Amino acid sequence: MELPRAVSMMLLAYLLGSIPFSFLVARLRGIDLRVAGSGNIGAANVWRTCGPLAGLAAFTGDLLKGALPVALADGLGLPDPLLVLVGGGAVLGHVRPLFLRFRGGKAVATAGGVLLVLSPPLALAGVAAWALVFAVSRIAAVASLSVAVLVPLAAVAGASAGLVRPAALLAALVAAPVIILLHRGNIARLRRGDEHRFR
């Protein structure tokens, strides 16, 4: 009984994740993210091309499309492994959106929304770490990659102490390599020294 519900919720999460909030926010400003800034369909590129308020709006939309389906599935009583599948559906929708020819963003905000439901302290720690690294480096990719490394480590430590539920640990461990893989272009530019920097 739980598996069919989980599959239905995963499909719903994928459709919700496919809504390209960042793209839509930029479009309202007359900007096509696919050809502007870094070319990435994500909140950081909205900030870069449209300003911080638009970037915050895009980030909030991308965060909520990860959080809402997981919160609903959790409210329905789905067990932890299935909650991670639902969250994975939302992330997949963001990365490969049905409504944007399967070209999406890099999953940081949407994965953060999943984690926000499963472990709010861990998610907030990730946001704080992102903000700190970004403030020092002024490079969004460096901040995102740092969080992809630090959050799983914090999740393992928290789970060992009984402070982080299994679903949050599993979500962090699964999301981290996905986020790093999606940033492989950024990693190459960082090595060359020509990665996009916020001024």
Q: Concatenated DSSP letters for 156-174?
A: HHHHHTT-S-HHHHHHHHH
Residue-level pLDDT at 72: 95
Distant-in-sequence, close-in-space partners of 128: CB < 8 Å, separation ≥ 6: none
What residue ranges in the chain does DSSP mark as E strands? none
Name the one residue in this structure whose structure tokens are 């539920």. Answer: 165
Higher pLDDT, 5 or 90: 90
Nearest C-alpha neighbor of 93 from the set 118, 124, 125, 68:
68
pLDDT in tens, 49-76: 999 999 999 999 999 999 999 999 999 9
Report the pLDDT value the prediction gives residue 199, as an integer from 0 to 100.
Answer: 72
Residue 38's pLDDT is 77
The 10s digit of each residue's pLDDT in 106-161 is: 999 999 999 999 999 999 999 999 999 999 999 999 999 999 999 999 999 999 99
What single-letter amino acid sits at 132? L
Q: Within 13 A of 132's CA, how many CA atoms are on the CB side?
A: 9
Q: Give the DSSP H or E segment for 59.
A: helix 52-75
Dmax (CA) for the chain in angstroms is: 53
Buried b (16+ CB within 10 A) or exposed e, 26-65: beeeebebeebbbebbbbbbbbbbbeeebbebbbebbbbb
Q: Report the alpha-carbon distance of residue 75 to residue 54 in Å, rounded.
A: 31
Is residue 62 within 8 A of residue 148, CB to CB? The reply is: no
Residue 170 has pLDDT above 80, yes or no: yes
- Whether the pLDDT of residue 179 is over 70: the answer is yes
Residue 190: is its pLDDT beyond 90? yes
**pLDDT at site 1:** 59
- How far apart CA 83 and CA 2 sit, in angstroms, is 11
Q: Which helix (H) or strand (E) holds 21?
A: helix 21-28
Averaged pLDDT for residues 183-196: 91
* Entry pTM: 0.93
pLDDT the model gives residue 11:
95
> How much is the pLDDT for 2?
77
pLDDT at 100: 86
Given this model, what pLDDT does residue 74 score? Answer: 95
Task: Convert the pLDDT of each residue in 6-28 to its tens digit.
Answer: 889 999 999 999 999 999 999 99
